[in-house]
Structure 1
Amino acid sequence: MNSFHIAPKAVYLHIPFCTNKCHYCDFNSYVLKGQPVREYLDALEREMEQTVKQLPPDGIETIFVGGGTPTVLLPDQMEHFLRLVRTYFFHGDARDEQIEFSMEANPGTTDIDKLHAMKAGGVNRISFGVQSFDPMLLAEIGRIHNVDDVYRSIENARTAGFNNLSIDLMFGLPKQTIAMMQQTLDAALKLDLQHYSIYGLKVEENTLFHTLFQKNQLALPDEDDEVQMYLSIMERLQAAGYSQYEISNFAKPGYESRHNSMYWRNQSYYGLGAGAHGYMLRQRHSNVKAIQPYIDATKLGLPILDGHEVSREEAMEDFMMVGLRMLKGVTNQDFSSQFDVTMESVFGEILEKLTQKKLLTAFDGGYRLSEHGILLGNEVFAEFIGIFA
């Protein structure tokens, strides 16, 4: 059966509360103080109930809780939230142990009691938003944790029984030097974690950094230094035994993010919570963003703000753009299983052009980014946007 006509195997849940708003963040998040957290969780339950009634799950494989900072929930709120997730998305049998259940966390918001509540609730993978091991840079980007919080959080997570841990790091930050990035990598690799996500800073609209950038007050590294940071990241992580399986992600064997791989393989997923996006039955939708309007909307039906049917042509473009983020590339076998045609019959001219420019490498049955193409990924992806317009 075509994968677009079956229930999603992945679930994304959004907890939109944070202790503060970081200077670079454009995610749908709100400072926690004064927010109706319990009412929000009740609304989330209403959305879960209505969603699974409309499209019952059939074999969930991955669950991801993002934000915001989900770990700002108090232990009793966390227990309640995870009980809801198990009620609506777990199988109730041995398959539950096979679900990859990830939760984002901020160092400093994960005491041992909360971590035990997470473990008991089924969470088995934690992604900590560390960003840097440089105290000056942490302050510069608006993070409220310190380096000691990182070590304490990792130690607590291991004590609570977690053995699948990831941290997010950033490069290209204001005032960041290559030496600073190397020192952060030194500290990160000493933790010997299962997974690292390392992202280049993007200055997004509606952030403090964008305001400063517009005023020419954001001291970003020059482009050559940023490239050197990325090259060093790739070299050092690979030398330490981590496979770069996606442009920004590195893992020990068997610890690749299965949930994010669902996105990169253009698979469908449930998206629940304020501002969450979902992709089901070739329909993309986004939810109401603001907290109280989202709560109110769930009392009337599904809290969908807007949505559209994804055309076959748009789905093909999406397949190429997200699939090429993975370093193993895209294959005709996967493409034809979704669209009943080969990639060359649709994108032959573009694939030939990118291969000649040495941005893509052809292999038996597919294409992947070349070493040069990894550095120019956005240029590659842009080639597949809007070609059917």
Structure 2
Amino acid sequence: MDINVYRPAELSDTDRAVWTAIQAEAPCHGSSQMANPFLSPEFAEAVGRQRRDVRVAVLRDDGPQGEPMAFFPYQRTATGVGRAVGLGLSDCQGLVHRPGFGWDAGELLSACGLAIWEFDHLAAGQQPFQSSVTGTFASPVIDVADGWDSYVARMRERSGRGTRIRLALERKLARAAGEVRYVHDERDPAMLRMLMDWKSAQYRRTGRSDRFSHPWIIALVEHLFHTRTESLTGLLSVLYAGGRPVAAHFGLQSRHLLACWFPAYDPAFAKFSPGMALHLRMAHGAADNGLSYLDLGRGQREHKDLLKTRELFVSEGWVTRRHPVALAYQARRAPARALRNTVVSRPELRRPADRLLKSVGRVRAWRTAS
């Protein structure tokens, strides 16, 4: 196996075309997650524009001039610590490969100059990495391949009353705030900035780390908003009531699926559940555009349980070589990750933790105001 490493911008047009073709064909071979836009060359290049440590390993079977068989995007520190591209932001990670292609994880890390490679949303089917998995988690999905009416029928089978209530959310919102209008593909950059402001306020209000306090993440999202290719389109969807935006979402779309990413809403309309109404509209729009499903992302949330039709699974862990850097990195990262997963997976711990974080958010807001 021949492995060459490049910066994303250094990839040839041929290599990029092969990468895109592998993704496009993946669902036909039972690997729908490999078609995720977070695994596209456009996402690796977009992160590479903001972070100088992004690299892509191209794996070939027949020497340097052979046909590419797989692409492995990653980030690397000077000490050889590797991370999935956009770790903490990306919702699908791994090696994009042709059907039936196998690789040796240790040989791959060695060729990339990595002592360790960390991931937290590894796609299913990455067999050479499976021995390095430390946990597997559900990623809820809304299936719309058979159309909107079919999705609604399936939801009614689960809970007829609950579905009627969810579908009536817009009528309540319209009575309170005025005519409801939905834009599936909003191209106004001002609406994107509004969404980031809402999301930033939500992070602070709930005591979470504010992703949009980092200029590079803002620049990344803005770049992706303007990206429109076969394998990645930045999709901003907005729900308006009485001419006023009340909920918005920014995600990444490929020809097969919509990867949900940053949803937020105006807290003034919280009692009308505008986020739920928005997701239903997004599902309708995705069905109309011929997508197969919406990936709601890893994590347990009430709205995901109410909307989902099934679940995909992603994994976390780290592939390592026998190296002191790998041992030191694991020793530092493992306890915090284990604690987080224990809290998130147990409702009796998650609810008090959420309340504590919201208290932190209130203190943070008070300090900011004073």
Return the structure number with greater strand share.
Answer: 2
- Flag the structure with more relative contact order, 1 or 2, with Cα contacts below 8 A and sequence separation at least 6: 2
Q: Same fold (TM over 0.5)?
A: no
Question: What is the TM-score with the length of structure 1 in the denominator?
Answer: 0.28
- Which structure has more helix as a fraction of its residues? 2
- Give the structure-2-normalised TM-score: 0.29
